[in-house]
């Protein structure tokens, strides 16, 4: 019967041999190339930032969402950022357009503050256009900004 020290030494030797074999595989660029893919953050994606009714000030959760997306694309090459402000169908159309503009600016400023590496921002405001469905139903979740980030690997 082998001693427990001898068994541990054999187990350790086996782990070292297995590690050496794995290290040899990892150093082979042909094996590794098929396994490495660009981070998901370095692809184009969209997200939405919601607002309270008649407000253009970001809530704490909205500000955190902006920071999260800025961190996700920080290691990427950001080609463009489109920010579209929207408003619900309640109230005056001109006022809703101004509100959606203010929302777009607030989100763009928060993205810059969060360090988003963007060459340029394109800001758009739709106001309440499209806030009513074909049947005349108001879309209540139009109190938001849609952000589209076009990004790729560096």
54 Cβ contact partners less than 8 Å away, ≥ 6 residues apart: 91, 99
Residue with more model confidence, 11 or 33? 33
Q: Report yes or no: 49 and 145 within 8 Å, Cβ to Cβ.
A: yes
Structure tokens that stand for 126 in this block: 């739709």
Task: State the pLDDT at residue 124.
Answer: 92
Task: State the pLDDT at residue 127.
Answer: 86
Q: What is the pTM of this model?
A: 0.70
Sign of CA dihedral 3, 8, 14, 20: negative
Q: Does the pLDDT of residue 20 top 60, yes or no?
A: no
Report which of 63, 48, 66 is spatially closest to residue 139, judged by C-alpha positions. Answer: 48
Tens digits of per-residue pLDDT, 95-153?
A: 999 999 999 999 999 999 999 876 788 999 998 887 777 777 776 678 899 999 999 88
Residue with more model confidence, 112 or 35? 112
Tens digits of per-residue pLDDT, 38-96?
A: 446 688 889 999 999 899 999 999 999 999 999 988 888 899 999 999 998 888 889 99
**Distance set, CA 17 to CA 14, 27, 29 (Å):** 5, 16, 21
State CA 145 to chain mean position distance.
Answer: 14
Task: State the pLDDT at residue 140.
Answer: 64
Task: State the pLDDT at residue 5.
Answer: 54
Q: Does the pLDDT of residue 24 top 70, yes or no?
A: no
Report which of 94, 97, 86, 89 is spatially closest to residue 131, judged by C-alpha positions. Answer: 89
Task: State the pLDDT at residue 88.
Answer: 87
103 Cβ contact partners less than 8 Å away, ≥ 6 residues apart: 49, 51, 56, 85, 86, 87, 125, 144, 145
Strand residue runs (E) in the chain:
45-50, 77-86, 121-127, 144-152
């Amino acid at each position: 019967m082998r001693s427990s020290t001898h068994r541990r030494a054999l187990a350790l030797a086996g782990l070292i041999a297995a590690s050496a074999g794995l290290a040899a595989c990892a150093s082979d660029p042909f094996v590794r190339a098929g396994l490495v893919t660009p981070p998901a953050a370095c692809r184009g994606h969209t997200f939405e930032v919601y607002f309270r009714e008649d407000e253009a000030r970001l809530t704490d959760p909205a500000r955190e969402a902006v920071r999260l997306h800025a961190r996700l694309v920080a290691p990427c090459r950001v080609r463009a950022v489109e920010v579209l402000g929207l408003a619900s169908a309640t109230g005056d159309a001109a006022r809703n357009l101004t509100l959606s503009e203010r929302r777009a600016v607030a989100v763009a400023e928060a993205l810059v503050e969060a360090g988003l590496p963007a060459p340029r921002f394109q800001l758009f405001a739709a106001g309440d256009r499209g806030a009513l469905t074909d049947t005349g139903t108001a879309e209540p979740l139009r109190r938001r900004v849609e952000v589209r980030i076009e990004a790729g690997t560096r």
